[in-house]
Amino acid sequence: MRAPSEPSPPSAEEARALVEQRAAALGFAAVGVARADVALEPEFARYEAALAAGLHGPLAYLAENVEARRRLDGADILVGARSVIVATVRYDQRDEYDGAPVPALAQGIARYARGRDYHNRIRKALRKLATFVRTLGDGVEARPMIDTAPVLERAWAARAGVGFLGKNGLIITPGQGSYALLGEVVTTLEITPDTPIEERCGQCTRCLDACPTRAFARPFVLDAGRCISTWTIEVAAASPEPLREAVSGRLFGCDVCQEVCPHNAKERPAGRFADTFAPHERWRRLELRDLARLGLADGPRWEELAEGTPLFRAGPAGLARNACLALGRAGDAGALPLLREIAREHPSDVVRDAASWAVARLSR
């Protein structure tokens, strides 16, 4: 029995207002709430259909823990979960910093990855939000997550009203666009859910039409086996020959489908996390040839180059492979001696293959 002087727990509506205030104070750009104890149905069916069609491509992990992705209130996420709070962190879309253009090397890196690794900083903010949620009732549990658990986070973000799902599969927040990362706090606390936002792409297909590899099977459905991000970040193997010309223009990830989106036409500030995403100074000191030498005896040290950045995910051979392809695409015949050396001596057959492709392209 609650003591007379002890305050009553907030109502579900009051809890939502309190969560919104705390999320804003922590620097999140948008926040929404969905019921965690109601499974995704149409969203999950679309996911299953994509898997059945093989659209996950070489990303085998997407076909793992499939049922866990349907619900949040089970043993895989949080038993007894009733609400999921979805929050966004904007990242920079600027092409200039302090009057200077983004370094040439950084222009081949997806905007979210040009600076420091975002995981630790956003995870800390989510933990603070989860800690706050636990204070809103006796025995309340809360689990923070950021792209590390088997959760269809974009589907939950759409259900929470954070934004709507664009035809490129990204969450678009009205008035803010799609340059944002998602994080969640799943909790046993009852919080009034938000209303989903209706899709606002209309007849626009700019994102689908602009994709260099034609990676969209249809609106809202991405073929991961054709996506540039897959072949520059996630997969250690050589990119398929039919895609190599298009893939060769990127070092790590791709922003094309966001760059052409009308919802991103207006440049918006990144907010409190802006310094996390500002291009690292190392990109002004390095050139493509430096990255291509990764793995050679006289090449740069991988740990020093990638420490504290998202580039660690690609690995040294992956980034050297991407740099070799980019050198071939750049048309710089002066890089031929280096590329021939890499094609002969690099310990990775994938990097040797990429260098050989670049040599052949530059020798045409």
**With the C-alpha atoms ordered 33, 263, 265, 281, is the resulting torsion angle positive or negative?**
positive
Rounded to an integer, the average pLDDT of 185-195 is 98
Tell me the Cα Rg of the chain: 22
Question: Which amino acid, residue 106?
Answer: A
Interval 82-101: pLDDT, tens: 999 999 999 988 888 878 89
Report the mean per-residue pLDDT for the chain: 94
Phi-psi region of 227 (alpha: psi -120 to 50; beta: other; left: phi over 0): beta
Count of C-beta atoms within a 10 Å radius of residue 209:
11
Active site positions, annotated? 147
Q: Judge contact between 240 and 96, C-beta under 8 A.
A: no
Cα–Cα distance measured from residue 207 to residue 299, given in angstroms and rounded to the nearest whole number: 37
Residue 40: phi and psi, rounded to 5, are -65, 135
pLDDT in tens, 100-138: 899 999 999 999 999 999 999 999 999 999 999 999 999
pLDDT tier at 2 (50, 70, 90 boundaries)?
low
pTM, rounded to two decimals: 0.93
Nearest to 49 by CA among 31, 62, 61: 62
**pLDDT tens digits for range 236-287:** 999 999 999 999 989 999 999 999 999 999 988 888 999 999 999 899 999 9
DSSP letters spanning 281-294 = THHHH--HHHHHTT
- Looking up tokens 């750049």 gives 330
Sign of the CA dihedral running 327, 333, 336, 338: negative
Helix axes 349-362, 336-345, angle to 10 degrees: 150
Q: 193 and 86 in contact (C-beta within 8 Å)?
A: no
pLDDT in tens, 297-312: 999 999 989 989 999 9
- As beta bridge partners, residue 142 has 187
- Specify whether the backbone of 34 is left (phi greater than 0), alpha (psi in -120 to 50) or beta: beta
Tell me how far apart the alpha carbons of residues 235 and 229 are, in angstroms, rounded to a whole number.
9
